[in-house]
Amino acid sequence: MGEDAQRARTVGVERMKQRDEYPAELSVEDAYARIPAHYGAPEDVVASLLEDRLMPYATELICQVQPGDPTQAQMLRSLELLAKYVAPALGWRPADAPALATAR
């Protein structure tokens, strides 16, 4: 996991601790173990999703890129990794782009 992503995870957990959503002594790793989050390099995300016991029943994949305060470039990179590596590994294939209708 990149340094920026690790920092964002830590900031997010610390914010939850400040709001008393998590115990103060809870580590970042233990906090993330409590939620159904799949994170890391694309191959880690794919492996984590495939190990999720609910994955066989899933009909949609909802993605949130990096918690915390990611930059636009970081969000776009995360979406690119999802589209290029994670989604295809789960069986997704892009549909042919429909022809755009022109308004008259």
Hey, CA dihedral for 5, 11, 62, 65, is it positive or negative? negative
CA dist 21 and 42 (Å) reads 29
Query: What pLDDT, on a 0 to 100 scale, did the predictor assign at position 99?
Result: 56
Cα 37 from chain centroid (whole Å): 7
For residues 23-35, average pLDDT:
86
Q: Which residue has the higher pLDDT, 7 or 30?
A: 30
Q: What share of the chain is helix, strand, coil (3-state, %, to 5)?
A: 50, 0, 50
Place of tokens 């191959």: 43
pLDDT in tens, 81-99: 999 999 999 988 877 755 5
pTM here is 0.68
CA dist 27 and 5 (Å) reads 16
Maximum average pLDDT range among 6-10, 48-52, 62-66, 74-78: 48-52
